[in-house]
Structure 1
Amino acid sequence: MNTELETKMANTKPVMNSVPKRKVNWKRILTYSAFVGPALLFFLVIQILPFIMGLYYSFTSWNGVSSVVEWVGIENYIQIFANDPTFFDSFLFTTKFMFAAVVISNLIGFSFALLLNAALKTRNMLRTVFFIPNVIGGLLLGFIWQFIFVKGFASIGNLTDIEFFKMPWLGDEKTAFWGIVIVFAWQISGYMMVIYIAALQGVDQSLLEAARMDGATSWTLLTKIIIPLILPAFTICFFLTISMAFKIFDLNLSLTGGGPFNSTQSVAINIYQEAFQNNRYGLGTAKSILFFIVVAIFTTIQVMMTKKKEVEA
């Protein structure tokens, strides 16, 4: 018995020793590094490092020019909450603008998508026409619409005597607000349209045909079948429009410059003026950190709510 056991153990040892060790696949690692490495490096240099530096400068009184950086702790944040009403006024304007712009731009974009998803002969041309405003830069677009509001509408109002065209679109607080909303929606709706069209083309047409055979109306098809199926597209579009509306800068700067009397000043313009015009870089970066936190909270809540609707649907 002992001889047989020793023989079996002797036979199993080479088998155990013959199991090859797992080698590190350097070729795969180098391949992944070649593709992911540059993007990760640029992300760290362009996004992460400036954010960390901005977080540091928000606790200083640096003027953006001097080599002397004085640490002041949370004094900048205390000053914002205690003695800076213009910042909160700009926050209120930006929040109101965000809600109006998100609703209008998504409503227009989704309507265009429904229209151009149908079998129209000119749908490809119309898709291009509606998307073109998104390609134009914000500053150029703002100056174009400034000319339209100031000169174009005034000329039409004088010719037709229609009160709508005779209003001081950029010279009054209320009309200037809606003027910025109109231009923003005009610029971004085409982009939202493309996302909604891509989602609509993924809807199974057999479901719609079966619902029509069962007597479903167009409104029922839209609210009970189409919208629940493309809720991921709404999640993306809401996220994009909320973040873009909060961060509006160039369009606001070229249209009104924050006027009249800072009534249409966005948070981005307020931060820009604080850091680069008033030379209070530390205070400006403190505002930008608070702004980042608020935008992150809004977008996170929005994504969580719409994702929850996707699951329920």
Structure 2
Amino acid sequence: MSVTTTSRMRHLLTYAAFVAPAVLFFTMVILVPFMRAILFSFQDWNGISSDIRWAGWSNYTKMMSDTGFLKSFSFTIKYVLATTILLNVVGLLLALVLNLALKTRDFLRTAFFLPYVIGPVIIGFIWQFIITRLFSEVGKATGWVLFQKNWLSLPDYAFWSLIIVTIWHSAGYFMVIYLAALQGVPKDMLEAAEMDGAGRLKRFWHVVLPLIRPAMTINLFLAISSGFKGFDLNFALTKGGPFGTTESLAYHIYLDAFTKNLFTYASAKAVLFFLVLASITLVQVAVMKRREVEM
């Protein structure tokens, strides 16, 4: 065996030694359960008994008349739209402000990012206490009717409670991504635009915004995917209430699988959920990437 072949084999073995654990972990934790979920979606099983029957497409056809599933799907779409828009708008505004030469900008960056470090379940329980206990005290002290209501017992208020807590929790993370993009904008281009007579708004619209488009692509992807997969805050803050009006799709599937023992039916919903999320994500990334090239 030549020296070149021996060296090549050594490189391949070294590469395999480093890559194999990650591939094995991905296969066992993600790929195998995903393939099993697809198989389960065509079966009839409660997750406990040894009697597993073949159901064909019945689990999928049953979803079309499942009002609970359709209701949670509608809520999830509204939740994703609201959080995607607000997270990107608030994150960008915070980044624009903290990109200025403020004396307290380092402290403010830390303060806005800090909520994201805390777990969503803990955040949900903290805000549940704030909304149910502290808001009523504020309402008594100020006389404001808005704070005298129990937000989590009213459908519209419960929805916006979830939105507000989500923005408070995650806006700092989006701010950091936008801030990194803003700091990469060449100053000479901004100075040239200013010398040509472009005001702040025109400089932002025609110079800054096109250059931070990759950050927008990343943040839109993160907002959409995290919005569809939202479970922790939904579980800790509202538990799908009142009357199932704030039941996200992920939480709905969890309830079907682990509280109603509709294991295979929940698997079918999960597979359909994956296909919808993957399709939306692929379209969104393709459109944003095309616009980046056009810019």
Q: TM-score, normalised by structure 1?
A: 0.91
The one-character-per-residue Cα deviations of 1:195-222 (angstroms, maximum 9, x if unpaired) are 1111111111110011111111111111
Q: Deviations over 1:49-96 (max 9, x none)?
A: 1100110111111111223321111111111113x1110100000000
* 1:229 alignment counterpart: 211
Task: Give 1:27's aligned residue.
Answer: 10
Alignment of 1:150-169 (within 5 A): 150-169=132-151
Distance 1:90 1:304 in 2: 27
| CA distance in 2: counterparts of 1:200 and 1:177, whole angstroms | 32
1:176-255 map, 5 Å: 176-255=158-237
Aligned residues: 293
In structure 2, distance between residues paired with 1:308 and 1:43: 31
Q: Which residue of 1 aligns with 2:86?
A: 104
Structure 1: gaps spanning 5 or more residues = 1-19
2:28 paired with 1:41 = no
Q: Secondary structure at the match of 1:170?
A: helix
TM-superposed CA distance for 1:21, in Å, is 9.9
Aligned partner letter, 2:170: I
Distance of 1:71 and 1:178 partners within structure 2: 42
* CA displacement, residues 15-66 of structure 1 (integer Å, 9 cap, x when unaligned): xxxxx89626012112222222211211111111110011011111111122
Q: 1:120 aligns with which of 70, 88, 102?
A: 102
- Cα distance in 2, alignment partners of residues 166 and 299 from structure 1: 40
Q: Name the CA distance, whole Å, in 2 between partners of 1:128 and 1:45.
A: 37
Q: What are the equivalent positions in structure 2 for 1:19-98 lying under 5 Å apart?
A: 23=5, 25-82=8-65, 84-98=66-80
C-alpha deviations, 1:90-128, integer Å up to 9, x for none? 000000010001101111111111111112222111111
Gaps of at least 5 residues in structure 2 are none
Match of 2:246 in 1: 264
| Counterparts in 2 of 1:171 and 1:277: CA distance versus 1, 3 Å | same
Q: What code does the residue aligned with 2:17 have?
A: A
Q: Residues 21 and 133 (structure 1 numbering): CA distance in 2 closer, same or farther, change over 3 Å?
A: closer
Q: Distance in 2 between matches of 1:37 and 1:117?
A: 42
Equivalent residue letter for 2:34:
F
Once residues 234 and 132 of structure 2 are traced to their aligned partners in structure 1, the CA distance between those partners, rounded to angstroms, is 15
Q: Distance in 2 between matches of 1:70 and 1:134?
A: 44
Partner of 1:289: 271
Counterpart for residue 302 of structure 1: 284
Q: Distance in 2 between matches of 1:51 and 1:59?
A: 13
Runs of at least 4 residues of structure 1 off by over 4 A? Answer: none
State the AA in 1 paired with 2:263. Answer: Y
- Counterpart Cα distance in 1 of 2:73 and 2:199: 43
- Structure 2: distance between partners of 1:259 and 1:172: 9
CA RMSD of aligned residues (A): 1.3
Normalized against structure 2, the TM-score is what? 0.96
